[in-house]
Structure 1
Amino acid sequence: MSHGQSNANQDSAAPHFKRVLTLKDLVIYGIAFMTPIAPAYIYGFAAQSTGGMLPLAYLIAMVAMMFSAYSYGRMAAAFPVSGSTYTYTQRAIHPHLGFFAGWAMFMDYVLVPLIVFMVGASYANALIPSIPYWVWVFIIAGVITVVNILGIAVAAKTNQILVLFMGIVVVIFVIFCMKAIMGEGGASAVVSITPFFNSEKFVMTAIISGAAMACFSFLGFDSITTLSEESVNPQNDIWKAAILSCLIGGIIFIVQAYVAQLVWPDVNNFSSADTALFDIANVAGGAVLVTLYTVAIIVSTFTAGLTGQASASRLMFSMGRDEVLPKKFFTHLHPKYKTPIYNILLMGSISIAGALFLSIDFVAELMSFGGLTGFMFVNLSVIVYYYFRKKEKKFVRYLVIPGLGFLICFYLFINLSPLTLKVGFIWLAIGVVYALITTKGFKKLPPSLIDS
């Protein structure tokens, strides 16, 4: 048997995913991860911190995230394989640096399903108090884990249904808000510049702070790139999906924040900043709209949980395939469904434990560390790979845009809380120790790169 035939047989025998995801599936996947009703989680505090100009903060955040979305798209076109941040940094800059990028991003992917389990269980318990919080955690975790094991196609169809439902709720919310606005001041009251610029309350530092907070509503578009090996046309669809999901999600967030601000102009007078949109929903549509919005938030935990768990399991698969994590465990695929079942079960177990024993505030603070670290690495990867290694001297495309993406993320990163930075760097230090041991002092390369 020839060497080429041997390699071909090895490749065909290697674990591989089914290519079933279209551009529409990928866009919906990204929006599902971000969740259409993401403003519900931060609206009260963010509206107060921006002086009632959260729509402007969301607009700035959307533009800022588009730079990083572009960079993810360019790297996905160059390396259409599973692994996302880890793979791009590994191939474009350095294999060991790729491990740390993946290690940092792994924190974010682990925490996303964990926190949505917590939020979903909390709201479900509030809606049906007779069922304890811990029972809701197991119900939500069980459903999400089973759907992900059944396959990405099943998860994609489930996401389509759930995202459609949330989209309908958002539309209903906006319509009720517009009716309430017109009821107070007529049709002309729907058009106002105040949510974007109020000269009496405008403070640039406050707007930038609000934009930094709003950026975290966009965490999720990057998860699309972990599905490159399950995409029908990864070279063309991944980058389009990353940018489209970021753009569509941003518009959805801006519209909700805009009408909410007009319904409730006094952002310092909520019954609770944590549930500010419920106050607004009650004014706009009464108990029916409040209940519908509560259900939509619970549904959002399933969409974000499905996508978060799927992305983390694919990232672990890629790191296992490169033997930076134990290969036998992390690359095992279910014989029928072709999903990384051990990774999915591990993710489900970690999320259940975290949801039962950690606080939402603590988990929320850590999410940003991994996400922003990953964004910085990917922006740098575009510059190193295209502008310097391939010498494609397209100044704006391969230097200015990713450079701005890096600087924006770095600015947000250095303004994280001291606790977040401390815990985040401890996590990275653990990764350093692990890498030192497995690579024999950074002397051993991943097998996938030895012959490249």
Structure 2
Amino acid sequence: MANRERKKLEKSLKPHWVWAIAFGSAIGWGAFVLPTDWIDQAGPIGVIIGILLGAALMMIIGVSYGFLIEKFPVTGGEFAYAYIGFGRLFAFIAGWFLTLGYICIVALNASALALLAKFLFPDLVRTGNMYTVAGYEVSIIQIAIASIALILFAILNIRGASFSGKTQFVFSIILILGITLLGVGAIFADGPSLSNVTPAFNPDQTAIASILTILAIAPFAYVGFDNIPQAAEEFEFEPKKAFGLIIWSLLAAGIAYSAMILITASSIPWQNLLAQIQETQSVWGTGDAIESYMGRAGVFIIAAAVCMGIFTGLNGFYISASRLTFAMGRARILPNMFRQLHPKHNTPYVGILFTMAICLIAPWFGRQALLWVVDMSSTGVAIAYFFCTATAYKFFRWSDKQPARGYADVVAPGKKFLSLIGMLSAIGFLVLLLLPWSPASLGTESYIALGIWILIGIVFYLFNSGRYNSIDRKELNYLILEKEEIE
């Protein structure tokens, strides 16, 4: 009977807070730091088309999420869904790869804060340069900035979900205001022009290849909307509202990404901008683009927006990583400490501290080394998307003439078709990332990092699989889903 202990999280999250968790996490630092990198790969219009197509595919995948959140409003998200659809082993695989994605993004957000400091205060940040990793100078100041941010947001999250939700909403509103001011400046200032956006695509490759290059990173660009199912157990509103929150968060994120691409590319001819970045070895091309037409005032605005993006990313993915490891601990596939809740704040503090501890290692490897894990985290997220959509596909029937099998009792041909499209999209993302001849294939370093994470996962599973697999099915249903039978 000891196994039946199932600790619960408090219901304290309001709808607009949950929307902010999804939107702010999906935007993060990427919309402000990566535009010039993406433009270099695909050209401005190639990026915008790829980003918006990615948002559309995420919305299709969101149909499956909305259905499963309404039916199973428990923390754990894709871990729980993979368990429902495919059993214990695949639940661990989905949860483990998604944990990888979340932790990588926490680390990347912290490193983006150090990058911002290096752009704004280059002389200060160069103080204490210690060594170089892949051409990137690592200084003790950068390490300190990233580490302090990681520690502060760990403390913020331990204090409670409602506190995190309120601050996330404030950060998101300031972020939107920042993008709006940059856009207004681009419209009325001298210099920016839509003619600077040409050529629309990367002239070194076909338009289709340019779009596919960006589409392949859609799981990374929009990871964050799936923070909603991780927080489902803490909703103080009806779970059926989750689907609308997913759609609105993805729509807002797609518009924000596209706006920043257009603002950056229209500032000066984009090929000249890229040449200037290469010549000056600038650490932040988007900041250079904004400074070209708004001066230091523009730098201040985009710096404030970047800070908000970083803060929303840190906050949102701390929430998700800790809830996911809590759910896996509650299912007894991770060590018992992960299912412990803070005695005062009732938060999964061990998962928060675990995420912080791993991420505190990252700043010592420099920014370039961290970028190697971006595609790797996209792989983890795409795997999680597959299990969610595939489970939803199993739930739906094409017609009432099709016999119900197990829990496949919902006649919804439209939703079944969309879940099929979502499933194929997730497979497509994996193909683009993992096949060597793909325009968006992983680099060697990313493959190595992915292999290391798989080996660590095997070790974790072997140490805990005996207990996990010995739990009675009804009991495990209760631990993961809070119900003994899957209806």
Seen in structure 2, the aligned counterparts of structure 1 residues 449 and 215 have a Cα distance that, compared at 3 Å, is closer
Q: 2:418 aligns with which of 401, 424, 429?
A: 401
Aligned to 1:46: 38
Seen in structure 2, the aligned counterparts of structure 1 residues 290 and 87 have a Cα distance that, compared at 3 Å, is same
Aligned to 2:311: 302
Deviations 1:388-433 (A, max 9, x none): 63243422212x2122122222222122215334532443344344
Offset of residue 114 of structure 1:
1.1
Aligned to 2:245: 241
Aligned to 1:262: 266
Q: 1:367 aligns with which of 357, 377, 402?
A: 377
Counterpart of 1:390, as a letter, is A
Deviations 1:149-200 (A, max 9, x none): 11011111111221122111111111011113xx469xxx779997978999
Aligned to 1:153: 162
Aligned to 1:28: 20
Verify: 1:172 aligned to 2:172, yes or no. no
Contact 1:46 1:210 survives alignment (8 Å): yes
- Give the alignment's TM-score, normalised by structure 1: 0.87
Aligned to 1:209: 213
Seen in structure 2, the aligned counterparts of structure 1 residues 97 and 234 have a Cα distance that, compared at 3 Å, is farther
| Separation (CA, whole Å) in 1 of partners of 2:153 and 2:468 | 37
Contact 1:33 1:221 survives alignment (8 Å): yes
Offset of residue 221 of structure 1:
0.6
Aligned to 1:448: 476
Counterpart of 2:74, as a letter, is V
Aligned to 1:3: none
| Separation (CA, whole Å) in 1 of partners of 2:348 and 2:37 | 39
Aligned to 1:272: 277
Aligned to 1:65: 58
Contact 1:62 1:215 survives alignment (8 Å): no
* Deviates further, 223-232 or 248-257: 248-257
Contact 1:145 1:344 survives alignment (8 Å): yes
Contact 2:16 2:169 survives alignment (8 Å): no
| Separation (CA, whole Å) in 2 of partners of 1:277 and 1:224 | 30
| Separation (CA, whole Å) in 1 of partners of 2:85 and 2:257 | 33
1:305-320 map, 5 Å: 305-320=314-329
Seen in structure 2, the aligned counterparts of structure 1 residues 192 and 283 have a Cα distance that, compared at 3 Å, is closer
Please list every run of 5 or more consecutive structure 2 residues that lacks an aligned counterpart in the other structure. 126-140, 398-404, 434-441, 479-483
| Separation (CA, whole Å) in 2 of partners of 1:239 and 1:364 | 27
Deviations 1:40-89 (A, max 9, x none): 23211221322331222221111121122222222111210000110111
Q: 1:224 aligns with which of 218, 225, 228?
A: 228
Offset of residue 371 of structure 1:
1.1
* Deviates further, 408-417 or 281-290: 408-417
1:383-422 map, 5 Å: 383-387=393-397, 389-398=407-416, 400-416=417-433, 417=442, 419=444, 420-422=446-448
SS of alignment partner, residue 130 of structure 1 = helix
Aligned to 1:349: 357
Deviations 1:225-284 (A, max 9, x none): 100111112522322222221111112212222343333343353222763322321223
Please list every run of 5 or more consecutive structure 1 residues that lacks an aligned counterpart in the other structure. 1-5
Verify: 1:104 aligned to 2:97, yes or no. yes
Aligned to 1:139: 148
Contact 1:436 1:442 survives alignment (8 Å): no
> Among the aligned pairs, what percent are the same residue?
21
Seen in structure 2, the aligned counterparts of structure 1 residues 396 and 432 have a Cα distance that, compared at 3 Å, is farther
- Give the alignment's TM-score, normalised by structure 2: 0.82
Contact 2:158 2:347 survives alignment (8 Å): yes
| Separation (CA, whole Å) in 1 of partners of 2:461 and 2:115 | 37
Contact 1:148 1:306 survives alignment (8 Å): yes
| Separation (CA, whole Å) in 2 of partners of 1:375 and 1:334 | 30
Residues matched between the structures, number: 437
Counterpart of 2:476, as a letter, is S
Seen in structure 2, the aligned counterparts of structure 1 residues 308 and 442 have a Cα distance that, compared at 3 Å, is closer
| Separation (CA, whole Å) in 1 of partners of 2:396 and 2:454 | 27
| Separation (CA, whole Å) in 1 of partners of 2:10 and 2:322 | 15
SS of alignment partner, residue 470 of structure 2 = coil
Seen in structure 2, the aligned counterparts of structure 1 residues 422 and 377 have a Cα distance that, compared at 3 Å, is farther
Contact 1:77 1:235 survives alignment (8 Å): yes
SS of alignment partner, residue 221 of structure 1 = coil
Contact 1:28 1:160 survives alignment (8 Å): yes
CA RMSD of aligned residues (A): 3.0
SS of alignment partner, residue 269 of structure 1 = helix
| Separation (CA, whole Å) in 1 of partners of 2:197 and 2:372 | 36
Offset of residue 139 of structure 1:
1.7
| Separation (CA, whole Å) in 1 of partners of 2:191 and 2:223 | 36
Seen in structure 2, the aligned counterparts of structure 1 residues 214 and 431 have a Cα distance that, compared at 3 Å, is closer
Seen in structure 2, the aligned counterparts of structure 1 residues 366 and 200 have a Cα distance that, compared at 3 Å, is closer
| Separation (CA, whole Å) in 1 of partners of 2:108 and 2:323 | 19
Offset of residue 36 of structure 1:
6.2
Offset of residue 116 of structure 1:
0.9
| Separation (CA, whole Å) in 1 of partners of 2:264 and 2:198 | 12
Offset of residue 38 of structure 1:
2.8
Deviations 1:6-44 (A, max 9, x none): 99xx98x74222211121111111111123663223211
Seen in structure 2, the aligned counterparts of structure 1 residues 343 and 441 have a Cα distance that, compared at 3 Å, is closer
* Deviates further, 59-68 or 46-55: 46-55
Offset of residue 291 of structure 1:
2.8
